[in-house]
Structure 1
Amino acid sequence: MKLSEITGGRENNLDIIRFCAAALVILCHAFPVSLGEGHVDILGRITDDQIHFGNLAVCIFFFYGGFLISKSAERLQGAGPYFKARLLRIIPCLAAVTFGLTFLAGPILTKLSPGEYFTDAGTFKYLLNSVMVLVHELPGVFQDNIYNPTVNGPLWTLPVEFLCYIMCFLAWKLHFLNEKNARWMILLFAAGYLGAVKLLAGSGVLSAALRPVGLFFAGMIYYIYREKIVIRPWLAGVCAVFLAAAAGVHLLEPVIFFCLPYLLAWLGFGTKHKFSGFARRGEVSYGMYLLGWPIQQMLCQAFGGRMNPYLNTVLTLPAAVLGGFLLNRLVEQPLGRRFGQQPEMKK
């Protein structure tokens, strides 16, 4: 099957995959949040820190994002509609969570008095997260937790995601989103990526952001060459074996960009679409992503600052799913109806 033949409709398995990815983020974060910095999930231990469940999940989000946002860029045909759609996807729920943490959860969780909390400039500085300007702490909140007082650690991926949206728009504007010109875009990206790897080596979060950006770009390439890429189950199996073998010999970094995209294309579009209606009542994965870490930190505080990571995961998941459902129903869907937005991942 050509990729173009199985991605033209609205039937796919992306909703269930994104839900599982959001759950993997929560599982991954449970270890450092519950036990302290340096503790990693089982995938991180098996691969000797080459990849964790959280990084895998972010790569999944970014690959499908690269594919679908490229399609959106061609469909919307302009900066205004394109960035309006992107901002409506990110900002409303982000703002709702940020304001909720600042004005509802913060006063309850802080060690400061209400007067001290609301007169501290850091309280209102935290609201900058609503527009993807990262501020990690609220005054007096989570101060005694084993990890650190970071209120919502995963937010670092959102500015990276938005930069990828800009990259995709520029690719469309410069007429790179087609087979004729894509090779020049690939050369430019490869040169820039290798330069960034060298420049940012050892710089923590900035270095960690490069792999998801590479997967987003891979999604763009899969969209451009969708008429040429043939999806076969046995090839997806070969890719899975290659990924496992590469991790075993510490060569995951180059292999992941070639094998993981094909495997994800098969899982999302090439398998039977038994779960195409999974998010019929509400798409919760983004809300889970935004709420998972704060809930995990709250649970850790309730357990005295540290706890069993698996218990943390089990208790967090239903609360995050419920929170994601409420965000979808009370924020995303009403705004989508008002501004004529369709669910991005079903287009």
Structure 2
Amino acid sequence: MRLSHYAVGRDNNFTLLRFSAAMTVLFAHSIGALGLPPETEPVFRRVGFSLGEMGLDALFVTSGFLVTASLVNRGDLISFFWARALRVYPALWVMLLLTVFVLAPALTTLPLHDYFASDMTWSYFAKCGTLLGGIRYSLPGVFDTLPLKGEFNGSLWTMPVEVRMYIYVAVLWVAFALLPALRSKGMRFVSVVAVALFFVIVLRGRFSEGAFNGANIRMFMYLYGSALYLWRDRVPMGVGTLLALLAALVVASFDRTTFLIVYLLAMAPFVLHLAYVPGGRIRRFNDWGDYSYGVYIYAFPVQQTLAFLFPALTLAAMMASSAAVSLAIAIVSWKLIEERALEHKDDFAAKTWRLFNLGLARMGVTAGPDPST
């Protein structure tokens, strides 16, 4: 059976998988928030990178797969960009308003006038609110005494990478606009080349003496997930393949170099097997809501706040308390902001198309039918 057989409809485990991945990132960050060494995590000691990094990779694999599917199935960039923008920005902006203008002023060691007068405050809000050209990490006078000194919401560093990948996929789509008959084959070819290129870049980065760029492996995972969607009619799936991938990862974990190579090759298909192969009652998680994004964008400032207020917290207490608080906030974010924003994506796309066609009509150009209707 092939991946294309599974990759239809919404009956899958992506919601549970992404939530679990966001939680692993939270648990991994608990170690850093308390100033504990990375070796505190058994996974890090064994293979050289943390469970949190694996959670990030799972998020980027699923994002690459689902975002590419969204573009291919929608078939037009306006609908695609509205879907992406409404998934990312409304919840992000509310989070920034709450953390930059409510939480941080309550915790800063500076007088409030100095905090709000600082260019750092407004630069942080602007950069993190647009996700263009990177983010800012610190707010004036906040968390300067913690082990993760001055880091207010370190998790956001991946968000500009994610948005950049949306743009890359869209550019690839547009590049074949004049040759729609070759679009599928062209995108397949480019996807394989891109995955192979980043595979080499990641390996060279890991084994060279220079600083390792974590963004490269995230982009590799995104591109790998995207390529697997484009090649879905050729990708084998099944319980046997799932067990073989798991066995390969376990066996390879006895040597760090071997594990890295096997991990890069096996992680993306392994994640997609977890998303599609297990069935039954586990699928009921989809009915609860998608809380992964809320957990991801709120967990870091929650953990830093807990570390600031309760410096004697144990690791177990940090994990449990930050998970509970972050999940509670994520549920509210999903119910009040994210879910409601996503309900308008088709309406906004249709209105944008009407404005676009109206503008062309005034110039005497015929644009053709509105693809969003």
Which letter does structure 2 place at the counterpart of 1:131? T
1:10-41 deviation per Cα after TM superposition (whole angstroms, max 9, x unaligned): 11111111111111011100011112565552
Which letter does structure 1 place at the counterpart of 2:76? G
1:121-156 deviation per Cα after TM superposition (whole angstroms, max 9, x unaligned): 222222021111411111111111122120000111
Q: Distance in 2 between matches of 1:240 and 1:199?
A: 25
Secondary structure at 2:140 match in 1: coil
**Deviation at 1:58?**
1.0
Q: Is 1:131 aligned with 2:137?
A: no
After superposition, where does 1:1-347 map in structure 2 within 5 Å?
Answer: 1-36=1-36, 38=38, 40-47=40-47, 49=48, 51-128=49-126, 129-132=128-131, 133-175=134-176, 178-179=184-185, 182-191=188-197, 194-195=200-201, 198=204, 204=211, 207-250=213-256, 251-304=258-311, 307-340=313-346
Whether the 8 Å contact between 1:222 and 1:229 is mirrored in structure 2 is: yes
Which letter does structure 2 place at the counterpart of 1:298? T
TM-score by length of 1: 0.89
Which letter does structure 1 place at the counterpart of 2:302? I
Secondary structure at 2:184 match in 1: coil
**Deviation at 1:202?**
6.0
**Deviation at 1:244?**
2.0
Residues 127 and 37 of structure 1: CA distance in aligned 2, closer, same or farther (over 3 Å):
farther
Q: Distance in 2 between matches of 1:202 and 1:330?
A: 47
**Deviation at 1:190?**
2.3
Q: Distance in 2 between matches of 1:331 and 1:5?
A: 33
Q: Distance in 1 between matches of 2:210 and 2:29?
A: 20
How many pairs does the alignment contain?
338
Runs of 5+ consecutive residues of structure 1 not aligned to the other structure = 343-347
**Deviation at 1:96?**
1.1
Whether the 8 Å contact between 1:15 and 1:276 is mirrored in structure 2 is: no
Q: Distance in 2 between matches of 1:340 and 1:120?
A: 40
Residues 214 and 40 of structure 1: CA distance in aligned 2, closer, same or farther (over 3 Å):
farther
Whether the 8 Å contact between 1:31 and 1:39 is mirrored in structure 2 is: no
Whether the 8 Å contact between 1:95 and 1:131 is mirrored in structure 2 is: no
Q: Distance in 2 between matches of 1:276 and 1:10?
A: 10
Report the more deviating stretch, 35-44 or 281-290: 35-44
**Deviation at 1:173?**
3.0
Q: Distance in 1 between matches of 2:46 and 2:316?
A: 17
Q: Distance in 2 between matches of 1:192 and 1:229?
A: 20
TM-score by length of 2: 0.83
Residues 234 and 102 of structure 1: CA distance in aligned 2, closer, same or farther (over 3 Å):
same
RMSD: 2.4
Q: Distance in 2 between matches of 1:127 and 1:223?
A: 35
Residues 38 and 60 of structure 1: CA distance in aligned 2, closer, same or farther (over 3 Å):
closer
Residues 214 and 328 of structure 1: CA distance in aligned 2, closer, same or farther (over 3 Å):
same
**Higher CA-based Rg:** 2
Which letter does structure 1 place at the counterpart of 2:32? P
Which letter does structure 2 place at the counterpart of 1:43? V
1:212-248 deviation per Cα after TM superposition (whole angstroms, max 9, x unaligned): 2111111112112212222121221111121122232
Secondary structure at 1:211 match in 2: helix
Q: Distance in 1 between matches of 2:203 and 2:268?
A: 20
Whether the 8 Å contact between 1:16 and 1:278 is mirrored in structure 2 is: yes
Report the more deviating stretch, 154-163 or 224-233: 224-233
Residues 123 and 202 of structure 1: CA distance in aligned 2, closer, same or farther (over 3 Å):
farther
Runs of 5+ consecutive residues of structure 2 not aligned to the other structure = 177-181, 349-373
**Deviation at 1:197?**
5.9
Residues 111 and 261 of structure 1: CA distance in aligned 2, closer, same or farther (over 3 Å):
same
Whether the 8 Å contact between 1:66 and 1:218 is mirrored in structure 2 is: yes
**Deviation at 1:341?**
7.9
Q: Distance in 1 between matches of 2:235 and 2:322?
A: 39
Which letter does structure 2 place at the counterpart of 1:227? D
Secondary structure at 2:281 match in 1: coil
Q: Distance in 1 between matches of 2:322 and 2:344?
A: 32
What does residue 361 of structure 2 align with?
none
